[in-house]
A and B are shown apart, each in its own frame.
Chain A
Amino acid sequence: MKQSFLYLLLFFAGVLLALWGLIPETLLNSDIATWVLYGLLFLVGIQIGSGRNMFAVLKRFGWKILMIPLATTAGTFGGVALMSMIIPERSLTDCLSVGAGFAYYSLSSILITEFRGTELGTVALLANIMREFSVLILAPWMVKYFGKLAPITAGGATTMDTTLPVITKYSGSDYVVIALFHGIVIDFSVPLWVSFFSSL
């Protein structure tokens, strides 16, 4: 939570500095961001490669645990595709790219900016921040009406870190391992889906 706040603060600091014209031209026209992005993806890879063993979790819960990230992915894409019909100025692949962020706003917005420009990148940033916050605020309501898996699928890639505490609280500690597994799988899928939809 504290970290999300810091991220937002830095984003808005960048916006304000650029609005006031305090950023040198050379920084605006450089492709530093692209190279830093590759570095970021390399680090994401290191985390996946060195992380907890997913197969151990699979053994304990059986293969039905895989249904949860599948439900997250299918549900999100279905919902976003429906919504793309009421936003005619954005294409289906634009909307799917934004949805494929699964609340991983930092990575998805940066990737989408790279592929589709700053405007859609900003949509992705805001949309995925909102998704994370909706879980933090609405988790009890989600559990009440959609069952104990609800905050996990809604939390997307954040169920292994920022939304884990609320999931533990409202779904129960039985769901912690499921949430961790789900977060790892979705986390891993974000760069793949986003670059897939953006390149269509």
Chain B
Amino acid sequence: MTYILLAITAGIAAGYLCRRRTIVKYTGSLLSVVIMLLLFLLGISVGSNNQVINNFTAIGLDAFILTAGGTLGSLFGAKWTYKKFFTTK
């Protein structure tokens, strides 16, 4: 947790200091490359983990249930916020 916060805050500071330099424009592309590398590594740890491979259907079902809950919850949040704050313009 500490390292994570440290890495983000250091990044924000660096990004703010370099915001007028062209070099920060490449952050997005670099980020995609790093994400690809990490997802590939995650794939490797999934493939070499028998527990995950054997339970893939159950894992998928849990994922679906959680998505349904989270998405529907946020939809009700949207409806409430829209009625309360955005219709009386």
Contacts and interface: CB of A to CB of B under 8 A. Distances in A.
Interface of A: 3, 6-7, 10-19, 23, 27-28, 32-33, 36-51, 64, 67-68, 70-72, 74-84, 86-87, 90, 95, 98-99, 106-107, 109-111, 113, 118-119, 121-128, 130-131, 134, 142, 145-150, 152-154, 156, 191-192, 195-196, 199
A7 B39 contact: yes
A7 B7 contact: no
Interface residues of B, number: 70
A71 B78 contact: yes
Given A43-B34, A67-B85, A127 B67 contact: yes
A48 to B, nearest CB: 5
Contacts of B86: 64, 147-149
A6 B36 contact: yes
The CB with the most chain A CB atoms within 10 A, among B51, B66, B73, is that of: B66
Contacts of A13: 40, 43
A196 B8 CA distance: 14
A147 B64 contact: no
B46 A18 contact: yes
Contacts of B75: 75, 142, 145-146, 150, 153-154
Is the contact region of chain B dominated by helix, strand, or loop, or is it mixed?
Answer: helix
Contacts of B52: 118-119, 122
Contacts of A51: 15
A99 B68 CA distance: 10
A60 to B, nearest CB: 14
Nearest to B19: A50
Contacts of B39: 7, 10-11, 14, 106, 109-110, 125
